[in-house]
Amino acid sequence: MVGQPSPKWKEVDFFVLADQHAEEATDKPPDGLYAWMVSAACFVSLMLSIGINDAYGVYQQHYQLNEFPQATTTLISWIGTVQFLIMCLGGVFSGFLCEHFDTRILNAAGALLMGVAFISGSYCKTVEMLMVTQGLLYGLGASFPFIAGTSIPSQWFTKNRGLATGIALSGSGIGGMWMTSATQALIDSLGRPWAMRVTGIVSMLAVLAVSPWMRVRLVPNRNERLIDWSLLKDLRFSVFMAALVFDIAAYFGPFFQMPSYSVVVLHKSQSWGSNIDTLMNGLSVLGRLIVGFLADHIGPLNLLIINTIIAAIGILVFWVPFESVRTFFVVVFLFGFSIGGIVSVIPVAAAQVFGIARLPSIIGLLFIGYFVGGLLGVPPMSALLDNVGGRTNYTSSIWYMGVLPLCSLVLLVVMRLLITRELKVKI
């Protein structure tokens, strides 16, 4: 009625799977100062592990236009794709290991492997060898900080879980932002080999430094299965996992292709193109923080749906029909903000709906979806650019990027309807 306040969002427990019995792994309480130190450590770990992967567009541009001009876009894109795929596949094993071994030691081991990968990659002079070092070896090392940094914050918070997770995951966007600019500057001033050596040393030392705080708070009853396939028996989890496949498939395309698009289509400089990735990473940080804050008030799954809508609008409404700098910036703003929000609320939504005790292994299972999403993302986009667009016409590739979030949107709406048909419910 007029004059009455609007009803608040309902707060209802929608756990599809009850939390399994878990033991406290530490006497440190949740929501306290130590919990925020853990969140800060996850921030740094993700800043280097995922941030470097987000900055691969600079290497893609350099390889494509300078170092390997005779190689196809598809072949070169496999370096960054392998990097992400192995990170996800390794995340499945990391989730299992995090439930059985000290995550602080695992995080430190990952840091060492990350450094070795980039330093050894600096001596590689072929695309194939870069796939092994910059791609496979780095992805394997980064999988430990990736799974730990993504899953641990939710265990340490009960009051501000969305905000704390958003802050931790904003590290990947901030890392991508400064790593993009730093990588371009290092390549311009020192050359690609030394750029990789500096990156390897910095990432290794920084992640090693924060590893003592990378610890879980809850240890569930031991499950000796590497992957808990019983999760897939619940239709809602299966739909959620399928939706993430399409969201992750859409994630890296713009980061990989926008720098070269800026040069080839908009006729800008290579540094201008790398700055676009920097800007988009900065916007993704903003998206992570804002959406993380809002998730505590209106629900992570609701925010995931809203952000997927924004991502689809950005690509299909403003990028597909236009080839101008102004509309391109609109795409960068909409997609950068929304994709940051998407990746930040995925673990929060998983914790909200499926419970937090086994969150590392749950997210490890979701990383199988990430792996499939990586295969459905950049490689087909690059193949369309090579074979349909002749390496200069990006239209077919952009259409593909836009259809992916639409597919995810349909599945997310189905999942929400399976849980509840009430509209104003915090979930």
Question: pLDDT tens digit string along 14-27?
Answer: 444 434 455 565 66
Instruction: Note whether residue 82 is domain-resident.
Output: yes
How much is the pLDDT for 112?
95
Number of structural domains the chain divides into = 1
Report pLDDT for 25: 57
Greatest alpha-carbon span in the chain? 71
Q: How confident is the model at residue 175 (pLDDT cuts 50, 70, 90)?
A: confident
Q: What percent of the chain has pLDDT over 70?
A: 88
Q: What is the DSSP string of 9-30?
A: PEE----SSPPPPEEES-SPPT
For the ranges 136-145, 272-281, 379-388, 408-417, the lowest mean pLDDT is seen at 272-281
Give the residue-averaged pLDDT of 2-23: 47
What's the CA angle centered on 304, arms 298 and 305, to 5 degrees? Answer: 95
Asked if residue 85 belongs to a domain, the reply is yes
pLDDT tens-digit map of 345-381: 887 788 777 766 566 667 767 878 888 888 888 889 8
Out of 87-101, 154-168, 378-392, which region has the weakest mean confidence (pLDDT)?
A: 87-101
Question: Average pLDDT, whole number, for the chain?
Answer: 83
As a whole number of Å, the CA-based R_g of the chain is: 21
- In a domain, residue 333? The reply is yes
Say which residue the tokens 């919990």 belong to. Answer: 35
Whether the per-residue pLDDT at 72 is higher than 50: the answer is yes
What is the Cα–Cα distance from 16 to 86, expressed in whole angstroms? 29
> Residue 411: inside a domain, yes or no?
yes
pLDDT band at 2 (very low <50, low <70, confident <90, very high): very low
Q: Which domain holds residue 364?
A: 11-21+28-426
Q: Copy the structure tokens of residue 146.
A: 């990736």
CATH code of the domain in which 79 resides: 1.20.1250.20
∠339-341-342 over CA atoms, to 5°?
Answer: 65
Rounded Cα gap, residues 96 and 212, in angstroms: 20
Residue 1 forms part of a structural domain: no
Q: Is residue 3 part of a domain?
A: no
338 Cβ neighbours under 8 A, 6+ residues apart: 287, 307, 308, 310, 311, 314
Task: Classify 425 as helix, strand or coil.
Answer: strand
For 56, the token pair is 């691969």
The Cα 105–Cα 114 span in angstroms is 14
2 lies in a domain?
no
Q: Which residue matches tokens 């080999």?
A: 193
Average pLDDT over residues 82-102: 78
Contact, 375 vs 253, CB < 8 A? no
Residue 111: per-residue pLDDT: 93
Spatial contact of 146 and 91, defined as CB atoms under 8 Å apart:
yes
> What is the C-alpha separation between 18 and 59, in angstroms, rounded?
44
Q: Residue 301, exposed/middle/buried by CB under 10 A (0-12, 13-18, 19+)?
A: buried
Question: What is residue 212's DSSP assignment?
Answer: G
| Spatial separation of the C-alpha atoms in residues 259 and 278, rounded to whole Å | 10
In angstroms, the Cα distances linking 55 to 50, 142, 396 are 9, 14, 24
Q: What is the pLDDT of residues 213-233, one digit of tens each?
A: 888 776 655 555 556 677 778
Mean pLDDT for 408-424 is: 90
Q: For 52-63, how does the pLDDT look when each residue is reduced to its tens digit (9 = 90+)?
A: 887 888 898 899
Query: Under 8 Å CB-to-CB from 34, ≥6 apart: which residues?
Result: 28, 156
Residue type, 43: F
Confidence class of residue 270 from pLDDT cuts 50, 70 and 90?
Answer: confident
Give the CA distances from residue 80 to residues 61, 371, 389, in Å, rounded to whole numbers and listed in that order. 12, 13, 21
Mean pLDDT across 322-330: 93
Pair of tokens at residue 274: 């790398």
Angle of helix 235-264 versus helix 300-318 axis, rounded to 10: 30
- Listed in order, strand segments (DSSP E) in 206-324 are 218-220
Q: How much is the average pLDDT of 266-270?
A: 89
Instruction: Collapse the DSSP code of 422 into the 3-class scheme (helix H, G, I; strand E, B; otherwise coil) and give the result.
Output: coil
Q: How confident is the model at residue 128 (pLDDT cuts 50, 70, 90)?
A: very high
Report the distance separating Cα 172 and Cα 54, nearest Å. 8
Residue from 180, 138, 155 nearest 285 by CA: 180
Residue-level pLDDT at 1 = 42
pLDDT tier, 119 (very low <50, low <70, confident <90, very high otherwise) = very high
